[in-house]
Each structure stands twice: as C-alpha cells, then as structure tokens.
Structure 1
Amino acid sequence: MSPHFLSRRTALRAFAGAGALASGALAACRSQDPPQSGPAASARPASRPGADRRFPAEWESHARTFMSWPALRRVWSLDLRYVREDIARVARAVAEYEHVVLLARPDQQDAAQRACGSQVEVIPLPVDDLWARDTVPVFVEESGRTVGVDFNFNGWGNKQKKHDSDAAVGRSLLPKYKIPRDTAPLVAEGGSFETDGQGTLLVTESSVVNDNRNPGKSRETIEAELKQALGVKKVIWLAGVRGQDITDAHVDSLVRFTAPGVVLLDKAFPGAPADVWSRSADQARSVLTEATDARGKRLEIIDLPQPDPDRITGTGDDFVSTYANFYVANDAVFMPRFGDKRADDRARGILKEHFPGRDVVPVGIDTIAAGGGGIHCSTHDQPGEPPAH
C-alpha cells in the first residue's frame, strides 16, 4: 500500500498545511480547487414531512444497496488500484444477498463493470469518491413511499475541496428510481446518523453541530431540524471528536444499533494507550448508560473490541480498525476482516449473536480502512422490497 494518498484523517491535516502523507504537489492541487457553495444555499427547501415519516433501521428489508466507484487519482494516488479492488470485493459480496447498484463516472463504467462482475449493476453517474454512505440521500418512508432526504453534502465541511459531483448525487440519482427528493435545512452526511427504526437517532455533535457544516446553528435548532427531516422522536447526542479526521467523527464507526434498545459500542484493544478515539468511546458509554430511547427504555450496551494493532494486515497511522462500521444487508452482515484471527472471530461471533438468521461475512478492506473508512461508509441501503428478478 502506498503512503502517498490522502486518507480521510490525514486529508484534514494536509488542508491545514501539515499534511504528513500528502506530497506538496498533491496538496497544492487540492488547495486550488474553488470552495463549494454553503449549506443548501441554492437548494430548494424540503416539503413539510408528514406525521408518519419514519427513518427505517438498517436491518429492515432493502430494495438495493448503492455504492460508488472511486474516481480521482488525486485523492488515492498510487492506491487507486487497490481501493478499487476493495470496493469491487465489497460489491460482489453484497450482491450475493441483494441487488447492488454501483455509481461510476461514464468513462469509468466499463472498467468498474469488469471489476465487479455481471452480478453488480453499474450505472453511469458522475461521482468523486467511494463514500456512498455520505453522498447518497438518506432514505425515509412516508405515506407508503420512499423519500430521499438530501443533506447538502459539502465535502465534510469543505475539507475535500473537489466534491461537486458527489454533492450532486442526490439530484442525479433519485429521478432514475422515481424517488422524490427532499432537501434538508442543514448540512450533514449519512454516516452521521444511526437509528433503531423506532424513532431514536444517535448523532455525534462534532459532525453536525459544527460551523464547517451549519454555521451559527445551535444544537437545539439542529435537533428540531433532524426530527422534522428524518421523522425521529428522540435524538441522543454523543460528543464525538472535532478536527481529527475529515468527517469530524461519524457515529457509524463508534456505536450501532442491532435491535431497538441494544447497541454495539467500539472498544479499544486492551492495553492500547488512551487517545481521542478511546476517550470518545468512553464518553459515548457514559451518555448511553444514562440515556433512554424514543420508547423511554434504557439501552443495553455490548462491547465490540478492536483487533490487536500488532496483528492486523493493514498499515498506516490512520488505519480505522473498528468493527462497528459493519453493514447489515438482506440476510447478511458484512464486517471487515483485519487479519487478527482471534479478534476477527470474536467480532464475527458477536455480530452473529445479535443478528441471528443472517450470515456474517468478513471482507478484506485494508485500503478502504487505511483511507479512514469501512464497509458501512462505502454502502448505502435503500429500504423497500427487493426488485423482482
């Protein structure tokens, strides 16, 4: 794996002028890109959601999974080939269980199709990078139909300057599937949200109550807007981590619901030195221990321990070795395989226990993880009945 690409953590330091992994030319190239428009500056306002709007849980039925083909060598440099291999591997694995639609730039469609195989549907649509969780609209159900809520992607607070294609994914994609599009009154990404499907939303404050997304907005204002846009009833705020990765610490690498009232919480490998990420998990635990969900019930917290950093096959200071970034599909759960067999098997057992009746499928994603993300970051579920074949 090359040390020359900008991971989602090191990108932040590079844009701040301290990019340890990025070459000077690469940083200069990115800094010359013009800034993107502000939060929903030119977007139409959302229609007022109905009282029955609901944000489904990921374990409910999916019509399809959306993914994106990484397009830019300026982002991945020499690792573009390897991250594409990871994405193709994930797409093929998920396609064994449900329909996968992969978005690829028109001039890259044929290559993406060859890499993914005939079981994956590759459609021509301009994208910049692989993070479909953040760029595809968040799907809700309302009055018997699916609605896509566009959260005005702005490159994680304009940290990734080249994101105009990703920002337009909602406008380009939803008409192809006749899905109505609402525009949220705030900026966020899909990885910022975790729901139990029964009105409870977990969010990191660092990734949403942040002037790089929503300048001047209070947490109370944003909470009211989230409740309206997503149809949730209760928002549980976790502190998160500001300024250490490009996402400002999305919740989907920290804590995940497995059922109403049950969460899996990322836990550092025993003996690992404390850092901002382990302290964030400790803070989340303290909040979740005292919290109740939308039904007024206490939460059961299950640890999901990380692997031994000396035993994983991936490399890099920014390697994201959390198992919490798993993806729940129809009849299967997809988790990263990090190479620490004991930890991989333990995580697989925990997921199997909490998703009975589903296969738990480990997938190697070392380049995606070195880029600061995981399987959940690179997939996006559309709720609904699977299409007839």
Structure 2
Amino acid sequence: MIRGMNRRGFLLAAGATAAGAALATTTTQGRARAAGAYRVPVEDVRHTRTWMAWPDSTSIWGGRLSGVQADIALIARTIAKYEPVVLCANAGSVSRARTMCGPTVTVIGSIPVDDCWMRDSGPVFRTDGYGGLDAVGLNFNGWGNKQAHARDALVAERIAAYTGVPFTSADLVGEGGAIEQDGAGTLMATRSSLVNRNRNPGMSERQLETAMCDAYGASKVIWFDGVYGQDITDDHVDATSRFLAPGEALVQMPLSTDTDAYAKDARQQYAVLSAATTAAGRPMDVMRLQGPDYNRIRSTNRDFLASYANFYLCNGAVISAHFGDTRADEAARATLTRLYPDRVVEQLNIDRLGTGGGGIHCVTQQQPTA
C-alpha cells in the first residue's frame, strides 16, 4: 500500500482522513449487455501491444528523474520480450528514450506527455467479441487537479487516433488505475478516488455507477470506502485489489501488526470482496497476496509504493516488482506463479519509480486484441 502524505510530490496540503469504517456495499445496474456491445476485457486476454509514456520533467521528479527513466526503460524492455511496446515521448526526449529503451521498444514523438502514468492518462480499450475495438477516455484531470495535465489530458484521444479506433469520452472523471474490471460485468473501485468532488463534483454514487458501467460495458460495481487525501490518487484500487477472472479476485494484505489507514483499507477490501457476488450472482473467490514488511524493504522513502498487486499481465508473462524483503518477494513470486502457471513471472527492481508512489501497472496500458 502507498505510505506517506504524498504519492508524487504534488499533493496539496490537506487533512488526511480515512473513509468511514462501515463495510462498503455492492450495487447492480439492471442492464443486460447487448450482443456485440463493447466492454473492457479482463486483463489476461491477448494483447496487440502495451502503451507506455516517457517522463522528462525535472519539475515533477527533480534529481530522481534519471533513475525513474531507467526504471521505465527496464519495464519497457522487459515487456517487449513478450509483446510490442509503444512508448510516447515528447519530441525533445525521443532520442534519450530510444537510447535507454533499446531497439525492441518503439518510441514515438507525436503524442506529447506530462508524465509516465499511462494507466491513468491512456485510453481504456474495449472489444465487442466480434473483432471490433474502440477506446474510452476517462477525462483525466491530474488526479483532481493536483498535477499539471494539459498534455496527459489529450493522450487517450490521441492514442485512439494513432491506432485508428473510435473514441468516446466517459461521463465521469477518473483514471484507469481507479477501476478494476473482470470482463464479465463486474467492476470494483474506491469511493475515495471517484465519489470525490475533486473529480466528479455533484455526482452521486448512483450516477457514477451508471457512468462507469456504461464506459466499461458492466452492470455491477463493488465499492470500497478507500482512503481520502493521503496520496495523489486518493487510493487507487489497483495497488491493493485485482480481478484475476470473473468471480476471482486478489487482495494484497498487510502484516497483522500494520495499523495505518492503508492496512485498514486492505482488510476492508478483503472483507467486502469475500461477501460480494459477481454481476452473474456468483460468490467471489478471494485470494490473499501477502505484502512486504516495510521495515525490511530496500527503500526508506516514506512515499514508497511496495505493491506486488500492482503487477502487469502481458502475453506470456507477469511483470511484477521485488522490494528487498526477500521472504515476501519470494512468496509473492510463488503466488503469482501458482495463479498464472502458463506465464513467466518477471520480478523487477523499480525502486526509483516506487519513490513516486507508483508501480508497473500504473505505467502501462494494454491494447487487447480485438
């Protein structure tokens, strides 16, 4: 889970409060998916490519920029062993990005970016089951206008145009890391990220459910309370809970001795999912992924994100992180190997990126095969 007050150095000073302790509810929109309608597939489907973005702003990263670039390049090169990677860079940074990423990664300078968080700024691709592909934009606003986003606000539409697929804007403001989908009608998200006036002022939870379901081709939302104001994302779900398949989810659990807001949030997410059903009415099968001991990881940065759950699936591989807690790192690898026996599990040291409060899933966006 994300620790500290500031995920990427741009969080406005504010009182940080965890959301209410009551267990979140699940709700179902009473709509059946029409044959041939578009929906966002679960992430283990085959991909055409992975989209990424190249950071080059010293105003955001300061003296950490070169290290973060090295981590982005490592992630891109690793994914490129399994599927094509297209990385968007500002024109003045294309040469450096190509040098650091190497010849297996395609770097383009025609889609300018503010930062590297492609999960949040990039398009959400949808398929219709009949060979059709389109894209939805979530109207990225810099995590509630906490960071400059003039370029990143246009990334989703520009990537859709680059790939030649139809594009629509969702009827909400959010980020890809804020919503998890199982590809079969069920979503999960934190209220703190979306039912929040910094993204969606004046919108009720019910209105947001409708907008989310319309955008993702879903019919049910499982809500968690989340954590307000302690990181720039307001507690993205993909750092803690992930869908593995319809009816199957995974939650990264804290140590039993952890008592901070994020530990309480993770335990609540596990409890909510364990009591939830899918859009089809099936009970959820919820698995635990043990998180590391923050006293044993390499980084001492208070904003560091040590999330194994923030892994990325690409064709034939699971790209995850290791953090220096050897026992927890090895246990996470074993869990991911058991969950994905037909994929190679690659664990990377991305500690420089982690000091910005993000992980591998945060900087990638999959384009599924239609």
Q: TM-score scaled to structure 1, two decimals? A: 0.86
Aligned to 1:294: 279
- 1:344 is matched with which residue? 329
Displacement of 1:280 in angstroms is 0.6
Q: How does 1:351-362 map to 2 (within 5 A)?
A: 351-362=336-347
2:227 match: secondary structure: coil
Which runs of 5 or more structure 2 residues have no equivalent in the other structure? Answer: 16-33
SS in 1 for 2:307: coil
* Corresponding residue to 2:359 among 355, 362, 374: 374
1:12-51 maps to which residues of 2 (within 5 A)?
Answer: 12=11, 15-16=12-13
Counterpart for residue 10 of structure 2: 11
Q: Deviations over 1:340-373 (max 9, x none)?
A: 1111110011111111200010011101111011
Give me the whole-angstrom Cα distance separating, in 2, the residues matched to 1:116 and 1:10.
26
Matches of 2:255 and 2:268, distance apart in 1: 17
The answer to whether residue 155 in structure 2 is matched with residue 158 in structure 1 is no
Please name the residue that 2:30 is paired with.
none
Q: Partners of 2:42 and 2:242 in 1: how far apart?
A: 10
Q: Is the 8 A contact 2:123 2:157 kept in 1?
A: no
TM-aligned CA deviation for residue 8 of structure 1: 2.2
Quote the Cα distance in structure 2 between the aligned partners of 1:369 and 1:325: 11
What's 2:55 paired with?
70
Decide whether the 8 Å contact of 1:55 with 1:199 is kept in 2: no
- Aligned match of 1:133 in 111, 119, 125? 119
- Give the number of aligned pairs: 346
Contact 1:112 1:122 in 2 (8 A): yes
Counterpart AA for 2:364: T
Matched, 1:271 2:257: yes
Please give the residue correspondences for 1:109-124 in structure 2 after superposition, counting only pairs within 5 Å.
109-124=94-109
Taking the TM superposition and a 5 Å limit, the aligned residue runs for 1:229-240 are: 229-240=215-226
Q: Does 1:318 align with 2:303?
A: yes
**Contact 2:116/2:363, CA 8 A, preserved across alignment:** yes
How far the C-alpha of 1:203 sits from its partner, in A, is: 1.0
Question: Quick one: distance in 2 between partners of 1:8 and 1:167?
Answer: 19
Deviation at 1:16, TM superposition (A): 2.3
- Partner amino acid for 1:117? G
Q: Show CA shifts across 1:206-263 (max 9, x none).
A: 1111110110000001101111111112111111111111001011001011222221
Structure 1's consecutive aligned runs of 4 or more residues displaced over 2 angstroms after TM superposition are 6-11, 15-18, 269-272
- Superposition deviation, residue 50 in structure 1: 8.0
Within-5 A mapping of 1:46-195? 52-124=37-109, 125-142=111-128, 144-160=131-147, 162-195=148-181
What amino acid sits opposite 1:277 in the alignment?
A: Y
Is the 1:195–1:257 contact (alpha carbons within 8 Å) kept by the matching residues of 2? yes
Q: Which whole-Å CA distance do the structure 1 matches of 2:295 and 2:289 have between them?
A: 18
Distance 1:231 1:134, change over 3 A: same
Whether the 8 Å CA contact 1:51–1:231 is kept in 2: the answer is no
CA contact (8 A) 1:7 1:370 kept: no
Which residue of the partner structure matches residue 320 of structure 2? 335
1:214 aligns with 2:213: no
* 3-state SS of paired residue (1:210): coil
Q: Partners in 1 of 2:353 and 2:216 — Cα distance?
A: 28
Q: Is residue 193–residue 251 contact of structure 1 (8 Å, CA) maintained in 2?
A: yes
Report what 1:259 is aligned to: 245
Greater RCO, 1 or 2 (C-alpha within 8 Å, sep 6+): 2
Q: 1-side partners of 2:175 and 2:8: how far apart? A: 16
Give the match's secondary structure for 2:201: coil
- Contact 1:334/1:363 (<8 A) preserved: yes
Name the structure 2 match of 1:41: none
- 1:160-214 CA deviation, whole Å, 9 max, x = no partner? 1x11010011232221110111111110100011111111111111111111011
Distance 2:14 2:99 in 1: 38
Matched-pair contact (CA < 8 Å) for 2:9–2:60: no
RMSD: 1.6
One-letter amino acid matched to 1:144: G
